[in-house]
Amino acid sequence: MSMTMTQKILAAHAGLDKVEAGQLILVSVDRVLGNDITSPVAIREYEKIGVKGVYDREKVTMVMDHFAPNKDIKAAVQCKMCRDFCEKEQITNFYDVGRMGIEHALLPEKGLVVPGDVVIGADSHTCTYGAIGAFSTGVGSTDMACGMATGKAWFKVPSAIKFILKGKLNKYVSGKDVILHIIGKIGVDGALYKSMEFTGEGVKELTVFDRLTISNMAIEAGAKNGIFEVDDQTEAYVKERSDREYKVYKADEDAVYDEVYEIDLSKIKSTVSFPHLPENTRTFDEIGDIKIDQVVIGSCTNGHYKDLAEAAEIIKGKKVAKNVRAIIIPATQDIYLKAMENGLLKIFVEAGCVVSTPTCGPCLGGYMGILAAGERAVATTNRNFVGRMGDVTSEVYLASPAVAAASAIAGKIADPMEIMKEGK
Amino acid sequence: MVFNGKAIKYGDNVDTDVIIPARYLNTIDKKELASHCMEDIDKDFVKKVNAGDIMIAGNNFGCGSSREHAPIAIKESGISLVIAKSFARIFYRNSINIGLAIVECPEAAEGISEGDTVEADLDNGVIYNRTTGKSFETKPFPEFIQKIIANGGLVESIRRGDIK
């Protein structure tokens, strides 16, 4: 029986030679992740299990990113609960304000995930690390608690959808447009319970950061994970950040897939997801005059340095439109520092943007950019559900950093190509 | 496991952000979470729900964020069972892990209306709509999952040494 990339990683971590779709297995995990929202529930459950300590104090990882720096007293209590727990359990990978970043940008950056790993995280966007050839998936707090106690998690082995990428992206088109395009094609439950496996000639045309964005949003198609084939770029990225040995898994030639899609990257245009589902995608030929009140550039999806650089290229020397609040959120401290050293922050501030410390903040309607009734935002985040960024009548339009930047300048949803033409 | 209750019905793609909005995630208090359950999709839910009621939904119920606060809020609100055409995978495993009964049954989700009186016998795989007299068949859970539910959730399964 042949296996997909995902199935091979799961088999190896279950101590089995073979697994097949539908099989229930118990898997050893290489990392267990939680944040300041999900960890408190996990800690409460963990205490009930009554083990002497966590299974591995280096592998348990907590990042204070959702409501941190503490947004209110209750958030402060939750962060303190995590901090005290990590102190007591001597957790080495505890990331607090000043050292933290948005978890799914931080873990790859710190070299905490390598190809072939199995990572569970009590955050749905844990699927991000598929970009570097790991099996990683979002779970709940109870799974996190049990993972911390035993180092194991139960899974139903997923079947897979294969995406064969070819061609090369056009100017101002990035990983975000690719994944929005795919979700528009297959729907928000198009990959429900399944793996999305990305392969083909086109993979090498995507930077590791484009891939991180694509894998990050696999969950928005309902997928269990979204994994890329490992190539030279992945290995260079990982070796720069980690000394750990890793294993590269390739799907068998005759692996079976539920569906196969060919995606020509050169045909993908700038894509925007309209409210209130990521599958409601449109390209600029179908987008009219839509005025906006806010732009958010950041999040675990698009808060990388590359994303900020793409936005800065468009914003440089221009001004944010009157009546638009443009909020830039570098995803990690390192990204913040690099953006500062390379003059990106100056470009943003001079244009009338505000630059925030790393936080998930507005993406989930936490703080740092909540929308009032009827307001509209273009955001590089990952969800545009009802009330996601504030009032239930507010609207979120999901887009790439380039589209978000162009929209900030235009005061309406705008094509970066047009803005750059006008600028000359 | 047998459930009896009135149906409270929703559509497709009900996400965990509307089940429990993120602005309330600064607490892990179950009662407080339940007091905001379904707030952004149905302001009246907390007023109309009674202990034992059964939630009916369309496709991809519980999509989005992995917050376990969502099934916790539903369970704590008094809902005894969720029947949907399909569930998002993290919500599905979270429900099993915390012991909220859920079942996938597209026919029942289609054939039950808001306010119908519903009886569900999950051991025998039968859902009965007392209001219309129609009944629907469901598939039982795999043994592995039945065991977790029988133990009262994943934590208890580990405590009992069923998962090592």
List pLDDT tens digits, range A346-377: 999 999 999 999 999 999 999 999 999 999 99
Cα within 13 Å of Cα(B67), Cβ side? 28
Query: Tokens 């101002």 identify what position?
Result: A172
Q: What is the mean pLDDT of chain A?
A: 97
Are A176 and A301 contacting, i.e. CB atoms less than 8 angstroms apart? yes
Q: Which residues of A touch B67 (CB under 8 A)?
A: 37-38, 140
Nearest CB to B89 within list A38, A192, A392: A192
**Phi, psi of A54, deg, nearest 5:** -70, 160
- Which pLDDT band, with edges at 50, 70 and 90, does A423 fall under? low
Band (pLDDT 50/70/90 cuts) for residue B148 is: confident
Contact A146 B154 (CB under 8 A): yes
pLDDT for residue B164 is more than 80: no
Residue A43 has which token pair?
């800690």
- Domain positions in chain B are 2-139
Alpha-carbon gap: B133 to the closest alpha carbon of chain A (Å) = 32
- Reported as a single tens digit per residue, the pLDDT across A39-78 is 999 999 999 999 999 999 999 999 999 999 999 999 999 9
For chains A and B, what is the number of CB pairs under 8 angstroms? 142
**CATH fold of B2-139, please?**
Aconitase; domain 4 (3.20.19)
pLDDT of residue B124: 87
Residue A293 pLDDT: 98
Distance of alpha carbon A268 from alpha carbon A210, whole angstroms: 14
Give yes or no for a contact between A187 and A273, defined as CB atoms under 8 angstroms apart.
no
Mean pLDDT of A304-330: 98
Chain B, nearest residue to A79 by Cα: B26
Closest Cα to residue A101, out of A385, A352, A338, A396? A338
* Rounded distance between C-alpha atoms, residue A314 and residue A380, angstroms: 15
The pLDDT tens digits for A376-417 are 999 999 999 999 999 999 999 999 999 999 999 999 999 999
Asked if residues A233 and A207 have their Cβ atoms less than 8 Å apart, the reply is yes
Chain B residue numbers with beta carbons less than 8 Å from the beta carbon of A222 are 60, 63, 88-89
Do A222 and B89 make contact, defined as CB atoms within 8 angstroms?
Answer: yes
Does residue B100 have a pLDDT over 70? yes
Contacts of B84 in chain A (CB under 8 A): none
> What DSSP string describes A305-337?
HHHHHHHHHHHTT--PPTT-EEEE--SBHHHHH
CATH number assigned to the domain with residue range A5-265, chosen from the 4 options 3.20.20.150, 3.90.1150.10, 3.10.20.30, 3.30.499.10: 3.30.499.10
Q: Mean pLDDT throughout A27-40?
A: 98
Say whether pLDDT at A424 is over 60: no
Instruction: Determine the Cα–Cα distance for residues B123 and B144; give it in Å rounded to an integer.
Output: 15
Q: Which residues in chain A have Cβ-Cβ distances shorter than 8 Å to B155?
A: 45, 48-49, 142, 145-146
Cis-peptide, bond into residue A69, ω within 30° of zero: yes
Query: What's residue B145's pLDDT?
Result: 80
Q: What mean pLDDT do residues A283-290 have?
A: 98
- CB-side exposure of A15: number of CA atoms within 13 Å? 4
User: Looking at residue B153, what is its pLDDT?
Assistant: 87
- Cβ–Cβ under 8 Å, residues B4 and B41: no
Contact assessment for residue A314 and residue A402, using Cβ atoms and an 8 Å cutoff = yes
CA neighbor of B69 nearest in space, from B10, B15, B27: B27
* A5-265 matches A270-423 in fold: yes
Q: Which of A32, A119, A192 to mutate to test the interface with B (most CBs of B within 10 A)?
A: A192
Q: Is residue B140 over pLDDT 90?
A: no
Q: How confident is the model at residue B158 (pLDDT cuts 50, 70, 90)?
A: confident
Average pLDDT over residues A86-92: 98
> What's the pLDDT score for residue A15?
97
Whether residue B60 and residue A45 make contact (CB cut-off 8 A), yes or no, is: no
Task: Provide the pLDDT for residue B161.
Answer: 83
Each residue of B27-56: pLDDT tens digit? 999 999 999 999 999 999 999 999 999 999
pLDDT(A419) > 80: yes
* Each residue's pLDDT tens digit, A100-113: 999 999 999 999 99
Query: A152, B17: Cβ pair inside 8 Å?
Result: no
Q: What is the ipTM of this complex?
A: 0.95
Looking at domain A270-423, which of 3.30.499.10, 3.40.50.2000, 3.40.50.880, 3.40.605.10 is its CATH number?
Answer: 3.30.499.10
- Whether residue B99 contacts residue B122, with contact meaning beta carbons closer than 8 Å, is answered with no
pLDDT of amino acid A422: 78
User: What residues of B are in the A interface, CB distance below 8 Å?
Assistant: 13, 15, 17-18, 21-23, 25-28, 40-41, 59-60, 63-69, 71-72, 86, 88-90, 93-94, 97-98, 142, 144-145, 153-155, 158-159, 163-164
- Bridge partners (DSSP) of residue A272 are A282
Phi, psi at A301, each rounded to 5°: -80, -45
Integer CA distances (angstroms), A373 to A289, A368, B97, in order? 20, 16, 36
What's the mean pLDDT in A176-182?
A: 98
